[in-house]
Chains A and B, each alone.
Chain A
Amino acid sequence: MLEVKNATYTVEEEGETTTILRDINLTLEDGKFYVITGPNGGGKSSLAKIIMGIYPVTSGKILFNGKDITTSDVTERARMGIGFAFQQPPRFKGITVGELLYLSAGESKRGRGCNFLFDVGLCPKSYIDREVSSSLSGGELKRIEIATLMNRKLDIAIFDEPEAGIDLWSFSKLTETFRRMHERSKTTIVIISHQERIMEMADEIILVADGQIQQKGDKDIILPNIYRDCNYTKNCLERIENVDR
């Protein structure tokens, strides 16, 4: 079980303090499937990153199976069984897909990593020796990123917008993979997503906007709210329009 207690995350820029996340209280129970959704810039990725330890909390606590991990670094949290797939994964010149999967598997075998490439819609044979560099397209990189998590033995796996940049065909395969992962393993799955098909798979939905958790609860209760909630939709549209302009 992972608990975030009264967490706040602020950043200082040119003497100004911006609050990215405020008063976050969140409990993620073992083996459940969560989807975090909400408008762009709402704080979803930041929330995932404070759980992974990539961002430090400014105040508050993070507990993992009852243990206070607030000051544990990324490596320690990874070794405890927390995993995170980046929204925008970095590229590595000279490191191959196979090597990255090998690193991600830790103690376990390399061979398994290759199977996970199938699950994200990539043919292992044609990818295993390719560099994780700019020679890969955005969608390919995203899928490899997802495979690096599938490859690990995790208590909590957080995927940040895994569907972004991925074609429809691979997307079907991917949702199927998440479903199977949920059925077959005890891993707590957290997916940041806007996709109806992914939200429909969730046990619970967490709506994050303006740096706060706005709603959290059973999918069947929250989803209709989200679809109906004109504030959220309107907000969303306004934001998108603002971006377009």
Chain B
Amino acid sequence: MIDSIEKRMLKEITGLHDIPQGAFSLRKDGESAQVSSTANIEIRPKKDKPGIDVIVKPGTKGESVHVPVVITATGIDDMVYNTFDIGENADVVIVAGCGIHNPGGEKTQHDGIHNFIVRKGARLRYVEKHYGEGEGTGERILNPMTDLIIEEGATAELEMVQIRGVDSTKRDTQAKVYKNAHLVITERLLTHGKQFAESNVTVELLGENSTVQLLSRTVAQDNSRQVFYPRVIGKNKCRGHVECDSIIMGEAVVRSIPEIAAHHEDAQLVHEAAIGKIAGEQIIKLMTLGLSAREAEETILQGFLK
């Protein structure tokens, strides 16, 4: 059973109103609370450490898996290891996400270590949303580590979203992309107050005709700080595109350090990074349509982070 706070958190991070049908794992306050498998997708708790193995049978199509983490207590320090094995030619959506409601004065932290293997010809869409709230003064901290292997002809799309609420986050993502395989990582981030966010992504394009797109759009407000370090290394005939785009406001600090490295003559790698405030003309244009300055700013940020 989950209570109303937990329901709200669940909705924030997964869009679900309640425990769904199908493959599902809920982790609550540092412990596994509920696990259910389906004929094609097996979820089993790890024996040697906290966490789960999610095994998707080859050829599974159109199914989704929800693996949310919800923490509603203060002073929790949770560390979890999850392994996702996406069988050959499967096509699935995994919705992860972590919501912290910290009611007290102690820090609450969740560190997830995720390993993905996307097997030959499979397609994975992975959505991970971070959400934080709570009346307490305790910090809300999330440090995910993600490791991906994308086999021949497979495709993985990762969508990582964190809009407000998380005080400190350090995200490490590593991927190896093989022949004819594709990876797209989209990041959306908004920090405010004194929040801190760091994202390090390293992608190795190992196979012929492998591709990657790393796209981040972020907004840093108030006194928050953000650091991005996306790296793409091309070791074969491949294409890579890195695009970091940030809006800076108030006293915030944003550092964006994209790196591309080619080890092959036919590696085509591009990076673009831009940081700037909202253009005055954008606000004025929306004001000429009858929006107030505040509404205009809100509309611009919402669109940018969509």
Partner of B289, one of A73, A93, A94, A103: A103
Which of these binds chain B: A37-45, A77-85, A211-219? A77-85
B293 touches A94 (CB 8 A): no
B284 touches A92 (CB 8 A): no
- The reply to whether the CB of A104 lies closer than 8 angstroms to some CB of chain B is yes
- The reply to whether the CB of B79 lies closer than 8 angstroms to some CB of chain A is no
Question: Which size class do A's interface residues fall under?
Answer: 20 to 34
Given contacts A78-B287, A83-B288, contact A90 B303 (CB under 8 A): no
Contacts of A103 in B (CB 8 A): 286, 289, 291, 299
- The reply to whether the CB of B245 lies closer than 8 angstroms to some CB of chain A is yes
Q: Within residues 40 to 81 of chain A, which ones have a CB less than 8 A from any CB in chain B?
A: 52, 54, 73-75, 78-79
Contacts of B48 in A (CB 8 A): none
* Cα of A86 to Cα of B288 in the assembled complex, Å: 10
B288 touches A52 (CB 8 A): yes
B159 to chain A, nearest CB (A): 15
* Cα of A74 to Cα of B289 in the assembled complex, Å: 9
B190 to chain A, nearest CB (A): 13
- The reply to whether the CB of A188 lies closer than 8 angstroms to some CB of chain B is no
Task: Tell me how many residue pairs across A and B have CB atoms closer than 8 Å.
Answer: 53
Point out which of B217, B281, B290, B306 has the most chain A C-beta atoms below 10 A from its C-beta.
B290
A86 touches B285 (CB 8 A): yes
Contacts of A90 in B (CB 8 A): 279, 281-282, 285
Partner of A93, one of B291, B292, B303: B303
Contact with B along A142-181 (1 / 0, CB 8 A): 0000001000100000000000000000000000000000
Given contacts A78-B289, A99-B303, A103-B291, contact A92 B282 (CB under 8 A): yes
Q: Identify the B interface with A (CB < 8 A).
A: 217, 245, 279, 281-282, 284-293, 299-300, 302-306
| Minimum-distance CB pairs A-B, first 5 | A94-B303, A95-B303, A74-B287, A90-B281, A78-B290
Additional A-B contacts beyond A52-B288, A92-B303, A103-B291 (15; CB < 8 A): A54-B284, A73-B287, A75-B291, A79-B290, A86-B281, A90-B279, A90-B282, A93-B217, A94-B217, A94-B302, A94-B306, A95-B300, A99-B303, A103-B286, A106-B290
